[in-house]
Amino acid sequence: MRGQEVVQALPPPGSQELGNALQRLARDGKDVAALIDAGDAALTLSDVTAAIGFFGRAKALSPSNARISLGLARAYTLSRRPVEALRLYAEAERGGISQAAMAADRGLAFDLVGDARSAQELYRMALAAGADDAVRRNLALSQAISGDKQGFEATLLPLLQQGDSAGFRTRAFGLAILGETEAAVKIARDMMPQAIASKIEPYLRYMTRLTPAQQAAAGALGVFPRTAAIGTDDGQIAAYRPSAPAAVARADAALVPAGEPMGSTRAPTARREGDTRGATIGRWQGSRASRSGRDRTERASGRSGNVSSELPAVSATLAAPPSPAPPSPPPRPSGTFAGELPAVSQGDTQAAPARSAATQPVDLGQQPVTRPAPPPPAPPPPPPPPEIGMAEAFADFALAQDSSASPRAGAVDITAISVPRERNEPPPPPEPVRHYVQVATGRDLKALGFDWRRIGRSAQGELAGKSAFTAPWGEANRLLAGPYPSAAAARQAVTRLKAIGVDSFAFSSAEGERVYPLDGARPAPEAEKPSHPSRHWVQVATGRDRNALGFDWRRIARKAQGALSDKGPFVVTWGEANRLLAGPYDSPEAARNMVNRLKQLGIDGFTFTSEEGEAIDTLD
C-alpha cells in the first residue's frame, strides 16, 4: 500500500527568521544585530508589541544605530504613534538610511498626522522604486483624503482591473471620504461577504465626520476612533504643523468669491479701508436704497455723532440725491420731536430744496398752551370713628359684687378637656425628576421583560444593579434602566453602552411623571468574568513542536537556578508557532524584574501580557 501524502502548511513569513534571531539571543543577549532581526521578524508577523520590545532593547545598547531608529519608526507607525515615528524616520535618515528605503512607511506616518501632500510624494517615490500594491492603495486613499477624486480613481484603476479585493475595499473607503456614501456602501455590499459588509457599513457612513488623520487610520489601518473622539485629533497630532497644502482642494471646501464686491463705485476710498467694512457698506447700500429719506433720518438719529467719521461712504450717498425731502409728519408734542430729529447739518441744508410756507416746520415749543381751569376742591372726608379697646368694649359686663368666681363643688373644668380633632392627611409629595437610560420601547409589558433580560446579559455589566422601569409613551412604553444620580451619569452610561453595541439614550422624567417598576424584572446581572483573564508572563522561547518546547523548558529551568520554580511551563498559540511562557506574575513590573533576573543568568526572555479571553495552556 502506498502511504498517504501529507501536506504540511508552511510557517508564516517571518517565523523562521524570528526563531533564528531568538537562538542567537539565547547565546548572547546583547547581540544588537539579533535584536534588530527579531524586531523586523516580529513586524513581519504583525506583532508590533514584541517588535517595540526588541527595538527598545537594541536602542538601549546602540542609541545611534540608524536601523534601530527605522525599526522603531515602523513599529510606532503601525501602533498609531505617528508623531514619534516621524521623529525617528528623520533620525534614521540622518544616520544614513536612504529616503527611498523608508518612503512607504514614512508616507503612512505623514498621512496619520494629516499631511497628505508629504505622504503622496513619498508614496510615489516608493512606487518608483518597485513597492507593492499596498503602497498604491495607500496613495489612492491619501488622494481621496486630499479631495483629488480624479487622481484617486486613476491610481486604483490597475488594481481594480486585476480584481484586487483590497483595492475595492480602499475604493469604498475613498468614496466614503469624498462624500459618496451610498456608492461606497454599494461597493461594500457587492464585493465583501455579507457579515463583513454589514459591520463596515456604519463606519463608511461616518467617514466624512472624521479628521484627515482619522480617515487615514480608518482606511489604512482599520482603526476607527471612539465615539467621543470623532472629528477631534489627539493633542500631539493636533499640534503637528504639516507642510503647505496641495493645490487640490478638499471635497468639502467652500466656494470663496474673488475680486471686489459688486455695488456702488461712488466711494472707492471707503471700500479700500478694509475688506470687511467695504463689503458691509456695499450690502447696506444695496438693501436699503429703496427706503425713504425719513427712514434714513431715523436710522441716523439713533447713532452717535461720529457716524460721518466711521462711515464716510454712507454719508456721501445719503446727502447726494437732490430729490425733495418727504413731507413732514403730522405735528406731535414737542417732547417727542426732541428725541427723534437730530440737528440739521450745513450740508443737509444746502442739499435740501427750498420749502414752501405750507411745509415749513412749526416750532411747537414756542406756542402757548391753553390749560383748562382746575376743578373746585372736594370736601374733606368725615373723620373715622374712634377705635375702642377690648377692655372698653366689655366694660359693661362686670359681675355683680355678690357673685363668686370660685367653682362649685363637683363642677367639671371643661377647659382642661382635650377634644380630638380630625386632621387631614398631608398630600403625597409629587414625583421628583429622575434620570434613566432608555434601552427599548414597546407596547407589551411581558415582551419588554424579555427584552430587559436579553439587554442585561449583553450589556457586559454596564447595567449591573440597575432595575427595570417603564414610563408611558403615547400608545407604547419606554423601557428604562436606573435611576442614575444625575443626567451626566446617565449620559456616561449611554456612551459606554453604545461602545459595546447596545443602542440607548438618556431620559429624565418630568416632575410629577409616574415611572412604574417592571413587574417580575430582576436587576441587571454583573458582567461574567472571563474564564481566561488577562495576565502577565515571561516568554522564554518559541517553537512549533510542543514536545520540543518541553525539553527547552527543562533546560531553561535548570539554568534559572530555581528562579522559575512553580512558574510553568505554559504555552499559547502564536500564529503557526507557540510561545513558551513562565508565570503568571502579579504585575508587568514583576514580570520585567524576572526578565532582568534571567538576563543576569544568561537566559533571554521578554514580557508578554495575554489578552482577556486568550487561552493559556499548561505544557504537559
Can you give 401-436 as a three-state secondary structure string? CCCCCCCCCCCCCHHHCCCCCCCCCCCCCCCCCCEE
Asked whether residue 365 carries a pLDDT value surpassing 90, the answer given is no
> What count of residues does the chain have?
620
Give a yes or no: residue 96 inside a domain. yes
Beta bridge partners of 478: 441, 471
Asked whether residue 3 carries a pLDDT value surpassing 70, the answer given is no
Tell me what percent of the residues of the chain surpass a pLDDT of 90.
33
Please report, for the chain, how many H helices and E strands are present, in that order: 26, 10
- Between CA 163 and CA 235 the distance in angstroms is 40
pLDDT per residue as tens digits for the range 294-335: 443 344 334 334 333 333 333 333 333 444 444 444 444 444
pTM of the predicted model as reported, rounded to 2 decimal places: 0.42
Last residue of a domain, one of 452, 487, 517: 517
Same domain, 205 and 131: yes
| 3-class secondary-structure state, position 591 | helix
Residue 48 cell numbers, joined: 508590533
pLDDT for the residue numbered 356 = 40
pLDDT for the residue numbered 416 = 65
pLDDT per residue as tens digits for the range 384-423: 555 545 445 444 444 445 545 566 666 656 566 665 666 6
Same domain, 440 and 542: no
- Between CA 145 and CA 310 the distance in angstroms is 45
pLDDT for the residue numbered 328 = 46
Confidence of residue 383 (pLDDT cuts 50, 70, 90): low
Higher-scoring residue by pLDDT: 131, 280:
131
Cβ neighbourhood burial of 568 (10 Å; 0-12, 13-18, 19+): buried
Same domain, 589 and 460: no
Which of 203-212, 227-236, 396-405 is the most confident on average? 203-212
Same domain, 484 and 559: no
Q: Residue 79 maps to which CATH number?
A: 1.25.40.10
Same domain, 542 and 509: no
pLDDT for the residue numbered 294 = 42
Give a yes or no: residue 322 inside a domain. no
Give a yes or no: residue 507 inside a domain. yes
Nearest residue to 232 via CA among 260, 211, 258: 211
Show Cβ contacts of residue 616 under 8 Å, excluding neighbours closer than 6 positions.
532, 535, 537, 570, 571, 572, 581, 584, 610
pLDDT for the residue numbered 493 = 93
96-100, 363-367, 497-501: segment of lowest average pLDDT: 363-367
Same domain, 508 and 541: no
Last residue of a domain, one of 218, 239, 260: 239
Mean pLDDT on 175-181: 94
Asked whether residue 257 carries a pLDDT value surpassing 70, the answer given is no
Residue 233 cell numbers, joined: 485629533
Last residue of a domain, one of 517, 544, 559: 517
Give a yes or no: residue 261 inside a domain. no
Residue 224 cell numbers, joined: 476607527
pLDDT for the residue numbered 112 = 93
Confidence of residue 120 (pLDDT cuts 50, 70, 90): very high
Confidence of residue 136 (pLDDT cuts 50, 70, 90): very high
pLDDT for the residue numbered 497 = 92
pLDDT for the residue numbered 217 = 92
Asked whether residue 45 carries a pLDDT value surpassing 60, the answer given is yes
7-16, 312-321, 460-469, 601-610: segment of lowest average pLDDT: 312-321
Asked whether residue 170 carries a pLDDT value surpassing 50, the answer given is yes
Asked whether residue 140 carries a pLDDT value surpassing 90, the answer given is yes
pLDDT for the residue numbered 39 = 93
pLDDT for the residue numbered 179 = 93
Higher-scoring residue by pLDDT: 154, 299:
154
Same domain, 458 and 565: no
Asked whether residue 159 carries a pLDDT value surpassing 70, the answer given is yes
Confidence of residue 29 (pLDDT cuts 50, 70, 90): confident
Higher-scoring residue by pLDDT: 357, 156:
156
Higher-scoring residue by pLDDT: 374, 302:
374
Same domain, 462 and 569: no
* Residues 63/51, Cβ–Cβ less than 8 Å: no
pLDDT for the residue numbered 487 = 93
pLDDT for the residue numbered 397 = 45
Asked whether residue 211 carries a pLDDT value surpassing 80, the answer given is yes
Mean pLDDT on 45-51: 90
Asked whether residue 70 carries a pLDDT value surpassing 90, the answer given is yes
Higher-scoring residue by pLDDT: 292, 2:
2
Asked whether residue 519 carries a pLDDT value surpassing 60, the answer given is yes
pLDDT per residue as tens digits for the range 530-572: 667 888 989 988 888 888 888 888 888 888 888 888 888 899 8
Same domain, 605 and 481: no
Read off φ and ψ for residue 329, nearest 5 degrees.
-70, 165
Give a yes or no: residue 377 inside a domain. no
pLDDT for the residue numbered 255 = 42
Give a yes or no: residue 148 inside a domain. yes
Same domain, 64 and 168: yes
Read off φ and ψ for residue 3, nearest 5 degrees.
-70, 145
Nearest residue to 53 via CA among 10, 18, 82: 18
Beta bridge partners of 508: 435
Higher-scoring residue by pLDDT: 97, 294:
97
pLDDT for the residue numbered 420 = 63
Give a yes or no: residue 106 inside a domain. yes
Same domain, 131 and 202: yes
170-179, 412-421, 596-605: segment of lowest average pLDDT: 412-421
Confidence of residue 434 (pLDDT cuts 50, 70, 90): very high
Give a yes or no: residue 441 inside a domain. yes
Give how many domains the chain has, as a whole number: 3
How far the first Cα of the chain sits from its last, in Å, is 35
Computed over every residue of the chain, the mean pLDDT equals 75
Cβ neighbourhood burial of 121 (10 Å; 0-12, 13-18, 19+): middle
pLDDT for the residue numbered 546 = 82
Same domain, 83 and 200: yes
Please report, for residues 332, 460, 498, 500, 522, the alpha-carbon distance to residue 491 in angstroms, rounded to integers and kept in the order given: 61, 17, 11, 15, 23
- Look at strands 505-508 and 467-473 and give their pairing: unpaired
pLDDT for the residue numbered 224 = 86
- Between CA 356 and CA 143 the distance in angstroms is 75
Higher-scoring residue by pLDDT: 204, 353:
204
Q: Residue 550 maps to which CATH number?
A: 3.30.70.1070
Which residue segment(s) compose the domain that 492 sits in?
435-517
